[in-house]
A and B are shown apart, each in its own frame.
Chain A
Amino acid sequence: MAFTFSPLSEQALVIETGAIINKESEQAVRKLSALLEKEAPEWLIEFIPAFTTVTVFYDPCQLKQAEVEQELKSLMAQMDEVEAPAPRQIEIPVCYGGDFGPDLRFVAEHNGLTEEEVIDIHTSGIYSVHMIGFAPGFPFIGGMSEKIAAPRRKSPRLRIPERTVGIAGMQTGVYPIKTPGGWQLIGRTPLRLFVPDQDIPSLLRAGDEIRFTQIDEAEYREQEAKQDADHS
């Protein structure tokens, strides 16, 4: 596989694993991330994996750009021996509709479905986490059915509560922290996606396979209380 290298800044180099998002480029990103984590070269400050890129941050006082590229190339000679971590299966319980999902009706009407049908479709998919980025623990999720796609709101909400599950176009996702946003809100999960007290502060990781399941409000309250107690 051919990789290309180009600077993001005088302290960061981008490794591109492909020009389009596909299994191959994503797998290469995961392998490369695993390699950088395992080898943790001294000059490496940190790295940010995305869909088709891994960006490495380094200290130019230690190494120049060309040297970083050289170091990476020799490190990447071991790529074939690295196993990307196996996908984990994670279930995300969601209490759909009501105050938690004020746009569930809109998503249903927009697609000529009932609210129950939207929930059935949303919970029947197997999704995969392509990357974590933008906000702490925020997953970019692929695999949502076109049948429940919906446009973003014309004017974004100023404050969306944390843990809210939304739909925007063909994407679905969960807001880990309170944020403004224009997604159509369909429900809320009791799970915390951003867990600052953990070594890895994100519940989800790139490569995870996730499924949404439906819970009622009582179960939501119970699980939320448990999550909050665990992370207080």
Chain B
Amino acid sequence: MRLFRQQQRRWRSPKSEPLSDAERLRDKFFYFRLLVLTAFAVLTLQLLRLQVFEGEAYQQRAENNRLRVVPVMPSRGLIFDRNGVPLVENVPRFSVGVVPADLPEEKEEPVLQWLEKLLGVSPADVSKDLEERRSSNDPYTPLIVKSGIEPEKAFAVREAEAELAGVRLVVEPVRRYGGQPVLSHILGYVGQVADYEYEELKSKGYGMNDRVGKSGVELQYEEVLRGTPGYRQVEVDASGREISTLDSSPAVPGNSLVLSIDLDLQQKTAEILQAAMGDSLNAVAAVMDVHTGELLALVSLPGFDDNMFTDITEEQFRALLDDPRKPLVNHAISEVYPPGSTFKQITASAALQEGVANAGTTITSHGSITVPNEYDPSILYVFRDWSALGTLNFYGGVAMSSDVYFYYLGGGYYENGVELFRGLGAERLAEYCRRFGLGRPTGVDLPGEAEGNVPDPEWKERELGEGWFIGDTYNFSIGQGYVTTTPLQMLQVTAAVANGGHVMLPRVVREIIDPAGNTVVPFVPRVTGETGVSDENLSVLREGMRQAVSWGTATTAAASSVSVAGKTGTAEFGPDLGGGHYATHGWFTGFAPANDPQVAVVVFLEKGNGAKNAAPIGGQILNYFFSRKSAG
């Protein structure tokens, strides 16, 4: 300091006297006073910047700190069977959460130790998760440390909330399904929003810890069941404790579903199916009201316990996914199979409607027909009947399920290149398939429906790059080869045969009601297509199916309480087991009463024979339905 001063003076008058000590001291004190004033000037300038120039921005940030919008979750709508039996309830479940924003790292230790002591959770794991959440964009949503704790522990957590920063008792309603695993595929389950769902659901107002329908009607009707969340704007302190509520809007509870399913029939159906499914990996049985499309029962075995999903572990979920029986899959709608002889309903309807055949058309089955190779007539392809059934009229063809009879109807018959019987041909058959609803989802109100396949020459050329042969038409005519359907599609077909040709939209939910029980969306049957087959023609087929039960292949489906009409199917699938033998699916589809159809039924066994295994199941289900009806 003295140095500068001297230089300055020297520059002005090089010969001036050196400063006296007193003068120098005075200078220094002058600079000290300047230092004091400068120091406070610097502080004042920064304060001006913070408080005056940027004050508003900081005020906003202070508001953001103190105000928090807390969602108020609506209670989820309930689900009832068609008779008003409740199938699910909302029960409170206690979980321990930690709000990452409210637990600063330096205060973590005692909290984590406390949590370890009470719940046995590893402090290291929790600490790691907390760190992750703190750096996420949502540090205010509690990190669930342990869910589903006992009420006594929940009480301890509630008491500790005041002392331990960030710790929250999270009370959330969860679904408890009424212990009917037979309904698992229909009801589905609810689970926490998954990471991959979050991005999409966020825009609909879902939070990270929210629960959302994952399958079944819980998924299909998520928007109906969920209701509208409300919110509360609260003032919180730095530990996230609510000080006061400033504003709120109540949550609107979700609406409830009334299923078309009849719980009693569903249970009985599952029971009958379970008892008869043998070593089949899967089995399906469903009952539909032929006039309305309402599904009265829809069973896919094996089922699962939807309650598991409240707190499912990774291992449990893996086990369900890896189970070869695929219990999570609803085999009635999500898997496609060759329909076998149940498909003959379509071939028969088409043949009658197109004039290919009438009730009196007789065809003789010698047990097989042969078709020579187009290029090398010495090679003969043999298309077998299941037996040499002799001469049959239309009713007999249906009743005995003669494959040869249907080869004629579908593909015609040729001898030495001469057409002796004109069949439908693949295109016309495919057209009728589509009219009956095959090749597209039925539109049932359940997620994950498969389409199935309706083949025709164009399809084969496109998909397989091969030409269509007469043999393809023969296979098609009896529901083998490239045609595949879901069990529900076959039920829809049978219902159309039974109701005079209307393809009904199958439904599991009958109506939507509000929490007070008032109908919000009433049930209105919906037709998704017309088969274009006259009822007169369909009545011929129905008579054939009645005869199948009275004296034909489906006699095992006969019921004591009602007259049943039906069609069996034994569909070959998979690899050749040797000697032209294949594993078979067992099918049965039918309706009752035969003369005034009310309900249709479909039965599918992953392994089995139509007549031996599937038909009796169908008969028992219809018998139960009508015996109960008359008793009630």
Indicate whether A and B interact.
no
Using CB atoms and an 8 Å cutoff, list the residues of chain A in contact with chain B.
Answer: none
